[in-house]
Amino acid sequence: MADTDIRSDLERFWAFYQEDVLKEVYTHILEKTGNRPSFDQQPYFKRLSVELWLSEPDYRLGLDEEVVSSLEALHDELYFDTLDFLRGITEIDPAEGDMIPEDSSRYSAPGNILPIFHPSLEGEAAAAQAEGAGARSVPTDEIISPEMCLEIVRRLSSNPGIKSYIAGSFYEGRDIPVLEIFAPLGPYTSLPRLVTAKPTLYMSGRQHANEVSSTNYILRFAELLAQDPEYRSYATKVNFVLHPLENPDGAALAYELQKLTPFHSLHAGRYSSLGMDIGSQTGAARPLLPEAKVRGKLNRKWLPDIYLNLHGYPSHEWVQPFSGYAPYLFRDYWIPRGWFAYFRALSLPLYPDLAEAGQDLQGFIIRGMQARPDIHESNRSFYDRYYRWAARWQPHMNYLERYGGVNLYTKRRSSREERLSERRRITFAEETPELMDETAQGEWLVFLVEQRPGPSA
């Protein structure tokens, strides 16, 4: 009898954890990372929870705060050993070498390890269960509320290539997150050097908060930049400044309303909580709306070469029966006309290099849009319908300006448009894409925000 090894519950659990649980976790990680776990592919999962019901000593000793507790001891083994194991299987990509500190144990971000211990069972049979939850990607089929946006930004920031911070707060006190993505992202970076050495693309979403798709689009784009090898190469060439939700007060309101009427356009979420368009305040020295300061701050900080102001419009006919049927403030938005964009680039002959860059960019957008047959087909049918019912009758107002099947409004429409303002000296191109995203959900939203690598420039 003295020669027989009788294993305690703790030992039996530990063997099960190493033989069964960690092996399965390891297999999952290899599958997910193409057999090459590395820091830039972390996190590997959202959560690994291990729940235990054990009968073990767990009491206070009566000497200061000392305790006798194998339950607590096992909590520490589970937590730290698992993190160590996951750090141990993670390879360092030579390209990342400089960014990773010598002691990388605390730099590793494999996912959340959660040991859950129930109070000691005092003699009853022990049990254990382990459960993993995959890292959830940015949703593309549901509307993102301001709270969800903050949570997603927090989650994305665990990727080593993404820096995020709260850039301000809103009239009703909500936080405004901003993400900055550039490579290499070291502990010390010189902003002037980044701005000089590489072009900067600034993208803001949801100025009009019921135009819902841009938040999904921007956050998904950030996720791809952090995780997809093709997208990651973009971050070595361009600095990305991402401002996913410019108007959280409007977004919170529209989010509540869509629970009641999910397919309505919900224009009450368009402006801020004061009924004022944030866009009217972004240039003001002392804006009434604190949220309007963020765009100005980011413009001054990053001096972006290209600015994308992502917008949307109703996905169906817009009717106001007591003011002339079609919406009197937005007559050209009466019925859908597919994807289109307002594109502004400098074309003054004084600056031929900037004019040429603007032309190049326009061609690049057209080629990118043409590369997607599904978008092409969808646009063709909406453009036809718009022509049939709107453009044909009021060509002075409801026109389409098509280049290779893509509707881009590029021609000069006002005397101020080509003025070389201070801002235009810095930001040579500006685009406002418009998608039929009021109030897109489910498959339609997935279609609107789907992203694939673009054609090479």
Min CB(243)–Zn ion separation in Å: 15
Residue 155, number of CB atoms within 10 A of its CB: 18
Which listed range, 71-79, 203-211, 243-251, 373-381, lies at the site for Zn ion (CB under 5 A)?
203-211
Which listed range, 47-55, 88-96, 202-210, 444-452, lies at the site for Zn ion (CB under 5 A)?
202-210
Give Cα 166 distance to the centre of its chain.
14
Q: Which of the residues 88 through 147 are near Zn ion (CB under 5 A)?
A: none
Residue 384 in tokens: 């036809």
Min CB(347)–Zn ion separation in Å: 25
Min CB(208)–Zn ion separation in Å: 3
208 binds Zn ion (CB under 5 A): yes
293 vs 311, which CB is nearer to Zn ion? 311
Largest Cα span, the chain: 99
Q: How far apart are the first and last CA of the chain?
A: 77
Decide: residue 106, CB within 10 A, 0-12 exposed, 13-18 middle, 19+ buried. Answer: exposed
Residue 2 in tokens: 């003295």
Min CB(311)–Zn ion separation in Å: 4
Min CB(314)–Zn ion separation in Å: 11
208 vs 295, which CB is nearer to Zn ion? 208
Query: Which strands form 429-438's sheet, in the order they lie side by side?
Result: 162-169, 175-181, 239-243, 200-205, 306-314, 429-438, 340-345, 406-409, 402-403
220 binds Zn ion (CB under 5 A): no
424 binds Zn ion (CB under 5 A): no
Contact code string over 144-183 relative to Zn ion, x by CB under 5 A? ----------------------------------------
13 vs 255, which CB is nearer to Zn ion? 255
Contact code string over 368-387 relative to Zn ion, x by CB under 5 A? --------------------
Min CB(270)–Zn ion separation in Å: 7
Min CB(214)–Zn ion separation in Å: 9
267 binds Zn ion (CB under 5 A): no
Using CB under 5 A, count the residues that bind Zn ion.
Answer: 3
Q: Which of 267, 293, 311, 337 binds Zn ion (CB under 5 A)?
A: 311
211 vs 249, which CB is nearer to Zn ion? 211
74 vs 144, which CB is nearer to Zn ion? 144
Which listed range, 76-84, 159-167, 207-215, 444-452, lies at the site for Zn ion (CB under 5 A)?
207-215
The torsion region of residue 50 among left (phi > 0), alpha (psi -120 to 50) and beta comes to: beta
Min CB(146)–Zn ion separation in Å: 17
267 vs 293, which CB is nearer to Zn ion? 267
225 vs 448, which CB is nearer to Zn ion? 448
Min CB(206)–Zn ion separation in Å: 9
Min CB(386)–Zn ion separation in Å: 18
Which listed range, 124-132, 234-242, 292-300, 308-316, lies at the site for Zn ion (CB under 5 A)?
308-316
279 vs 405, which CB is nearer to Zn ion? 279
- The binding site for Zn ion (CB under 5 A) comprises 208, 211, 311
